[in-house]
Structure 1
Amino acid sequence: MAGVRSAGSYQEEVAPNLLSVRVIRARNIPWADWTSNADCYVCLWLPTATNEHSRTKTIANSSNPVWEETFQFKICGNVKNVMHLTLHDEDTISQNDALYTVLFDVGNVPIGKALRKTFLLNSKGKEDLEVEFKMQTIPSRPEKLLTNSVLVSREVSCLEVCIDKQKIPEHLHGKGLVLTVKNSGQKTHKMMLNPVDVPNHIESRCFHCIKKWEPELIANIEDVITIKDSPYGTLTVPLQSLSVGKEEKVELYASPAKPLELKLSAKDCTQKLDIRLGFDICSEEKNFLHKRSKVIAAALKKVLKLDRDLKEHEIPLIAITTTGGGTRAMTSLYGTLSGLKKLNLLDCVSYITGASGSTWAITKLYEDAEWSQKDLAVPIEDARRNVTKNKSSAFSLDRLSFYRDELNKRAEQGYKTSFTDFWGLLIESMFHDGVNETKLSDQQKALVRGQNPLPLCLAMNVKHIENTTVDFKEWCEFSPYEVGLLKYGAFIRSEQFGSEFFMGRLTKRLPESRICYLQGLWSNIFSISLMDAWYAAVSSDNFWHRFTRDNIQDLDGEEALRKKRTSPNLTSRLVKPAGLFGNTVREMLTNRPIDGEHHNFLKGFQIHKDYCQHKGFVAWEDTQLDNCPNQLTPSTEELCLVDSAYYINASFPPLLRKERKVDIILSFDYGLTGQFQSVEQTHSYCTQQDISFPKIELSKKDLENPKECHVFTNSGKPDVPVILHFPLVNDTFREFKAPGVKRSPEEMEDGVVPLSGMFTPYNLLNLTYNEQSFNQLLNLAEYNVQNSEELILQTLRDAIAQKQKSWTGTTD
């Protein structure tokens, strides 16, 4: 194996191996029903070697079936090859029952030696499955892999299938041509055999395949009866039989009449990826930070009254993080930014992150490339007008017709449309004047000189069904430059989000989405499942979780179990399905009927054999599926992206990437209850993941009467950011309309902001405020920042001193 390392990713060359799996027998399999023994067969699945499942013959009515069948798989040793061996009971009436599934890491099979394994299927009984594995090298050209030690991109071939619409035989008009390459990213395409006008009269379809899988094309014409050993109706072409880079013609007969001519072209895809593999921030972001540092240095000199310019290594990296909360979060964020602007602190900030409703304000502001350099009165007035206007017109028949047309247009472009898209269009109608044509990548204009903070919006990738958010969640960040899943160190250009990828190559480019569709994604709380709602309500899912989850047991023995704390990547596991009733209940409880599915830009990637040891992956892995590589996101067709706020209503994760080196986080919590919940939950999460985050220590007084700002720090640990947490509280604002300026008796009513109670105007589902409610919330958020000026300034001074101290220690 040879490796050439570069920034973030590197190349490995690996020769393939041949794995032989001999399924020998099973013992003591219990009766399937009251009248007979089980009718057993074993299904083998190794998704890193093929998309197809293999299976043994069925042994009828036997508690001790013997198969003695051998299956072979060509594998790549540098990916995580985990085989699923599932023992089934065949049933001609009902669905075949999966009795047990053994997950076995075949990377532990020694080269040239047979490894015989007896898998215990029941710790309380004598059921077992006996299988023999053998690995051997085969003469073959080494395969070139690209990897970041978590994801692996393998060599890919592309097959293009073309037909000339003018040469379709008349007897085939109106029929459908089905093209299938099972071992490909696309799997199946269908073309209608109608002589319609298309560019150059040529219609084509492409398949992308892992080259070493040796795929084959199967073409058949619908409604043509195929007879065994007959040449009519179907055609099979191994891709290996085609000359790379050369067009070849084949003929598909549906009858003795004129055949359909297909033109096939095979080529090797470039090794260059359209996805950036690596855990570092991108070069554009680094360039932005360098430019932004000059703006920050000038702002800090002014606000702290420094007698000299700060050097770049002395400048603390400051970020704003916000929570969700619908219209409340949007309105409050305008007040927050206004307060920072009036204190001349907005130019000291490098990042601003948002989740859910706070992203509505962020996306609106970044339509103006100079927004933070201007008076915020104009965008605030625009927000006031849109928040206080009647929203009924957004649901008029004309608007509903417009939404339908927009969604149809989006579907024609190739997007997977859903309620999330409809919700985004509603947000646009309610809080924007007319159609907003801006896109996420347009926000790059606001960063070209470092004139504004860099915005980062957060979403969460979950499973569409079968798994709760507790079981599976992955942080997905959106910046004007890139969209990426933090756990995998994989990022695509922001304008490519929604396009189709396979193995890191862009296979179908779609037009970039308008920003409203991303707003719908970032704030789609409607995607919650019943199980997640239960968890959110009672903070416990123990009963239903245990009742519906498959039973997973490690089969490696006590010695391996003792090593689990340092290396969770064990050799084999046993999965006992939850059963028909349990599966039915689980599907009902975990189904997300109103979710947002998007083309998975990680599709096709395989998992590196050492992924569990990579610090970047380990920092963000936190669920049981992270030990089951075949169930991770690269193996799925779609991303299921939802509002992150209903798991942790905060947007910290993008700022906690160690590569960003954030020193100070101004945390603004716009929740009406649990004023410290966002930081407490984040602290708990980070403690479990060993991510740097300060301790959240609160006194009884803090909990009973929260102040406008609370400081959390781990003294003496420069890698841990300082958190200045601003809960949404109505404390001294009751008596002061500005810091140090008391209210007159006539103004006291303005200081009573109804943040609690059944009739508060600020509840999550209320999208319209009257002008007084809007102004009160806006002014409260602005005041709370301004009243904390000295605390913020002292934190800045301390951070600069710490940076200077660390630099001196480094240079010494």
Structure 2
Amino acid sequence: MFRAVLLRRMSTQLLPLLAPVIFTKMETGFPDSQVEKYPYYNLTVKVLRARNIHGTDLLSKADCYVALDLPTASPVTFRTQVVHNSSDPEWNETFSYRVHSIVKNILEFTFYDKDVLLKSHAASIHFDVGNITPGQTLKHTFVLNPQGKEELDMEFSLEESTDPPTEVITNGVLVAHPCLRVQGSINKSEKTKWIIQENCQVKVSVPGAFENPSSTFCSADSEERRKIPFVFYVDREICPELHAELLQTTAILEEGWSEDLKMHTARLGKGSVSLGTLPLGQNVEISIPIGEEQAVDLSVKVEESPQDLDVRLSFELCKGEREFLDMRKKISSRALKMILGLPEEPKKDEIPIVAVVASGGGMRAMTAFYGNLLGLQQLHLLDILMYICGISGSTWCLSKLYKDPHWSQKDLQDEISIVRKLVTSSKVGAFSVERLMYYFQQLMMLEKEGWKVTLTDLWGLIIEYFLHQKQDPSKLSDQQSAVRWGQNPFPIYAAVNVKPNVSRQEFTEWCEFTPYEFGIHKYGAFIRIEDFGSEFFNGLLLRKRLEPRICFLQGIWASAFAANLDEIWDEVISSKAGFLDTLKEAIKAIDEARGHPPLDPLQLQQRMVLPGGAFRHLFQDLIKIRLSVEESANFMRGLYLHKDYANAKEFVAWKGPNLDAVPNQLTPMEESLSLVDGAFSINSPFPLVLQAERGVDVILSFNYSWEAPFEVLHQAEKYCEEREIPFPHIAVSETDKQKPKECYMFMDPRNLKVPIVLHFPLVNNTFQKYKAPGVEHETEDEKSFGNFSVEGENSPYRSMNFTYAPDEFDRLIELSRYNILNNKDAIVKALNLAMKRRALKNVKRK
């Protein structure tokens, strides 16, 4: 449940802020969301002077100014005047903000030369407004460059505002402010005070509003329309303004070119009105002066949007998952009684939560995962599983299985026989001209829907062919029918959110896709899976898009392959021609179908010009980057970080200096999510099952990593150590590293919070001698079947190989199945231990 994190770790100087706080239980169905009421403060920032500034221009001193950004209080960047040719510029300029005390207000000020950003170590400084004691003035000298003794003097003061406290919604990490809906129209009539001149437009905008810079234009060519409507959504707390501008656009001949024109836009006038001065819920007529004797007439209505959010701000499990667990535990209880030989079915709180995590590894991971699950089924252990979590190639297995709502209750041999036909069939058809035309049509449909088309989307369509060889209409939400009655384990698909210009060692955020939701647990923020890719602002769904087909999600989950389409082409086609080269025929066919002349082959070979919007974006991405990132609308846009977000136990952050300590650079402040294959962080989705709310007791770790049997465990251990998440210590002998066994158990007998981890490397250990536990191979054919190497330079199970010979597929299935059957005792031992540890936990709770 929600904890009042504001009351923790507060310095005595900030105690006056606590008195006005009011907590109210929120009726939204979000178990740990609260409505909180906090006061406003008036912040005054005075830029005083700088000293010892060394300009970048050798011929003169610096021309300095300071820019100030406080995105939690204003969408506008303020800046001082420029002080020319001075090493010791002095400004004494004052800027004012109204800040809401519940959010983390970080003022960012940047020191600039007029033409060149000073490349000092402290050119940009982040200052926490919470360091200011209310009612006092704080003067501080910031060091811009220690080597050159460059310094900047600032002065701050914070006074409580007379504005009454307002309610916000929060989960202790994110804060949702009230949102205003601004609708209206530009009115044109004979009484209008401004006259539309040739090539002139009136632009209406609300800085910081949804789809900023969202705007409405009124121009001469729209005179027949008497009213030009507009709608904006904006955070009420940033003191929003409605702006009107008179713009004139002229065409200028580009120097040196006889045919190209460059469009130049000049502002002839500008005016604004504060939305806070307009009455709520009423239509009003206003006139905004935009120049000498000119004004624009508007009809405007400002309303508060509903308080109920479309983003779930909570760290608790969603309703669908909670209901699933209640039903699944009944099935698991019966299975445990039978498997462990218990005298009676264990009670609900005695049932250990068992999760499977499966690593990536392309077709190798998908095939071996089928074999592991078949082994669990034959041991009657599928029903004891609560969660199955996959990453990269293992998600292909999950997404195929969960098309059948009752897959775990049926003989998996039947499904495996279908998969065998697909895996052993030729993949050449994926790159035929007809199929490429289909890809382009699908990508253009995505672009028309509003998606940013990338290589990941193309890769998703190629996966669709590899796994189905036809269009797969299914969506992830369809899988709700597979868990609605608890009949199968709960599937979780993994990805990570990254920053394109930051290494994965410095920043990754684990994301989860389930049949019910998509979200980032780090922030306690989730949306319905049906709304993935739709546009949100301030927690409200404002632009609904169709839920993407699951093939496009598969492109995200296994996007590590998307950057290697040329290599995949070489593997599948075995041709000297590259993947891009073969696109000539497909593009030619499309152009001819459209009635366009064919492209110049030289242009295609040089990768300079390609037709169509989707084509252009797609192949520009291919040319410029090797890592393919899926850009999805950020559903947390408009939400802010709670002032004590870093102290919330649910906010799982890295230790030491990192971006988690810089709220202005965290994901809620971004326009888009950058989603990639989770294997770029850890090639097994441990973080998603280690969430405290899921309470996992036993983890079955299936590792399909290439030549790295313990790497995912060491990565997971490091991840957990940095974030203080309970995880067993991984100690592996040199002998085991050189020749790993089929199963390892890791646990901490002294810490009941640490899950038991059973780790299964993909190794051919005793299968070379035994066809079943205790049953040796007898015939030469049987011995030959079991005598093969999973790894090695000549192995058929390379990650880039997507087609196996029938015997190669059968061997991998049988090996993975056997490795489970041969370690039944280890699994049963882990279940018995987990039940005993559960009992001890229950005693401690009582």
State the shift of 1:33 in Å: 2.9
Equivalent-residue separation in structure 2 for 1:254 and 1:397 (angstroms): 56
* Match in the other structure for 2:170: 147
**Pick aligned residue for 2:376 from 340, 344, 360:** 340
**Pick aligned residue for 2:765 from 725, 728, 731:** 731
State the shift of 1:236 in Å: 3.6
- Alignment of 1:378 with 2:430, yes or no, is no
1:713/1:194 Cα in 2 relative to 1: closer, same or farther (>3 Å)?
A: same
* Residue aligned with 1:367, SS: coil
User: Structure 1: any 5+ residue segments left out of the alignment?
Assistant: 530-587
* Match in the other structure for 2:548: 513
**Pick aligned residue for 1:301 from 320, 328, 337:** 337
Letter in 2 for 1:476: C
Tell me if the contact between 1:178 and 1:189 (Cα under 8 Å) persists in the aligned partners.
no
Q: Deviations over 1:510-538 (max 9, x none)?
A: 11111111110111015779xxxxxxxxx
Equivalent-residue separation in structure 1 for 2:459 and 2:623 (angstroms): 23
* Residue aligned with 1:129, SS: strand
Q: Which moved more, 1:724-733 or 1:94-103?
A: 94-103
1:626/1:423 Cα in 2 relative to 1: closer, same or farther (>3 Å)?
A: same
Tell me if the contact between 1:418 and 1:596 (Cα under 8 Å) persists in the aligned partners.
yes
Q: Deviations over 1:578-612 (max 9, x none)?
A: xxxxxxxxxx9997663110000111111111111
Letter in 2 for 1:3: F
**Pick aligned residue for 2:274 from 230, 233, 238:** 238
- Alignment of 1:182 with 2:207, yes or no, is yes
State the shift of 1:355 in Å: 0.5
Tell me if the contact between 1:38 and 1:60 (Cα under 8 Å) persists in the aligned partners.
yes
Letter in 2 for 1:239: L
State the shift of 1:119 in Å: 1.3
Equivalent-residue separation in structure 2 for 1:166 and 1:509 (angstroms): 35
Letter in 2 for 1:308: E
Tell me if the contact between 1:478 and 1:484 (Cα under 8 Å) persists in the aligned partners.
yes
* Match in the other structure for 1:626: 660
- Alignment of 1:447 with 2:483, yes or no, is yes
State the shift of 1:41 in Å: 0.9
Q: How does 1:359-370 map to 2 (within 5 A)?
A: 359-370=395-406
State the shift of 1:193 in Å: 6.5
**Pick aligned residue for 2:158 from 135, 142, 156:** 135
Equivalent-residue separation in structure 2 for 1:680 and 1:519 (angstroms): 26
**Pick aligned residue for 1:71 from 81, 95, 102:** 95
Letter in 2 for 1:477: E
State the shift of 1:204 in Å: 4.9
Equivalent-residue separation in structure 2 for 1:680 and 1:96 (angstroms): 42
Q: Deviations over 1:686-737 (max 9, x none)?
A: 1121101111121233222211111111113221110000000000111111
- Alignment of 1:58 with 2:93, yes or no, is no
Q: Deviations over 1:284-316 (max 9, x none)?
A: 211111100111111112222322222112211
State the shift of 1:387 in Å: 1.2
Q: Deviations over 1:64-91 (max 9, x none)?
A: 1111111111111121111112111112
Tell me if the contact between 2:200 and 2:220 (Cα under 8 Å) persists in the aligned partners.
no
State the percentage of identical aligned residues: 40
Q: How does 1:589-738 map to 2 (within 5 A)?
A: 594-618=628-652, 624-738=658-772
Q: How does 1:530-545 map to 2 (within 5 A)?
A: none
Q: How does 1:25-174 map to 2 (within 5 A)?
A: 25-91=49-115, 100-162=123-185
Q: Deviations over 1:478-515 (max 9, x none)?
A: 11111111211111111111111112111111111111
User: Structure 2: any 5+ residue segments left out of the alignment?
Assistant: 1-20, 251-265, 565-621
Between Structure 1 and Structure 2, how many residues are aligned?
744
Q: Deviations over 1:151-184 (max 9, x none)?
A: 1111211112457999999989998764321132
Equivalent-residue separation in structure 2 for 1:398 and 1:589 (angstroms): 23
Equivalent-residue separation in structure 1 for 2:33 and 2:510 (angstroms): 21
Equivalent-residue separation in structure 2 for 1:120 and 1:414 (angstroms): 45
Equivalent-residue separation in structure 2 for 1:753 and 1:737 (angstroms): 13
Q: Deviations over 1:396-440 (max 9, x none)?
A: 222222112212212222222211111111111121142212111
Q: Which moved more, 1:270-279 or 1:673-682?
A: 270-279
Tell me if the contact between 2:654 and 2:722 (Cα under 8 Å) persists in the aligned partners.
no
Equivalent-residue separation in structure 2 for 1:739 and 1:715 (angstroms): 29
- Alignment of 1:206 with 2:231, yes or no, is yes
Q: How does 1:392-407 map to 2 (within 5 A)?
A: 392-407=428-443
Q: Deviations over 1:631-665 (max 9, x none)?
A: 00011000001001122111111110011111100
Equivalent-residue separation in structure 2 for 1:87 and 1:727 (angstroms): 54
Equivalent-residue separation in structure 2 for 1:522 and 1:135 (angstroms): 47
Tell me if the contact between 1:14 and 1:142 (Cα under 8 Å) persists in the aligned partners.
yes
**Pick aligned residue for 2:356 from 317, 320, 340:** 320
**Pick aligned residue for 1:284 from 317, 320, 337:** 320
Q: Deviations over 1:725-772 (max 9, x none)?
A: 000000011111121221122211111233222111111111111111
* Residue aligned with 2:453, SS: coil
State the shift of 1:60 in Å: 1.2
Equivalent-residue separation in structure 1 for 2:787 and 2:187 (angstroms): 74
Q: What TM-score do you get using the length of structure 1 for normalisation?
A: 0.86
Equivalent-residue separation in structure 2 for 1:43 and 1:809 (angstroms): 56
State the shift of 1:4 in Å: 2.3
Tell me if the contact between 2:272 and 2:288 (Cα under 8 Å) persists in the aligned partners.
no
State the shift of 1:195 in Å: 12
Tell me if the contact between 1:728 and 1:781 (Cα under 8 Å) persists in the aligned partners.
yes
Letter in 1 for 2:832: R
- Alignment of 1:472 with 2:504, yes or no, is no
1:257/1:141 Cα in 2 relative to 1: closer, same or farther (>3 Å)?
A: closer
Q: Which moved more, 1:376-385 or 1:447-456?
A: 376-385
Tell me if the contact between 1:486 and 1:620 (Cα under 8 Å) persists in the aligned partners.
no
1:771/1:222 Cα in 2 relative to 1: closer, same or farther (>3 Å)?
A: farther
Equivalent-residue separation in structure 2 for 1:137 and 1:218 (angstroms): 29
* Match in the other structure for 1:481: 516
State the shift of 1:47 in Å: 1.1
Equivalent-residue separation in structure 2 for 1:649 and 1:397 (angstroms): 34
Equivalent-residue separation in structure 2 for 1:123 and 1:527 (angstroms): 45
Equivalent-residue separation in structure 2 for 1:259 and 1:132 (angstroms): 39
Equivalent-residue separation in structure 2 for 1:371 and 1:166 (angstroms): 67
Q: Which moved more, 1:748-757 or 1:62-71?
A: 748-757
1:202/1:411 Cα in 2 relative to 1: closer, same or farther (>3 Å)?
A: farther
1:753/1:263 Cα in 2 relative to 1: closer, same or farther (>3 Å)?
A: farther
1:22/1:788 Cα in 2 relative to 1: closer, same or farther (>3 Å)?
A: same
- Alignment of 1:22 with 2:46, yes or no, is yes
Tell me if the contact between 2:247 and 2:268 (Cα under 8 Å) persists in the aligned partners.
no
1:34/1:806 Cα in 2 relative to 1: closer, same or farther (>3 Å)?
A: closer
Q: Deviations over 1:442-478 (max 9, x none)?
A: 111111110000001111100022x111121111111
* Residue aligned with 1:21, SS: strand
* Match in the other structure for 2:255: none
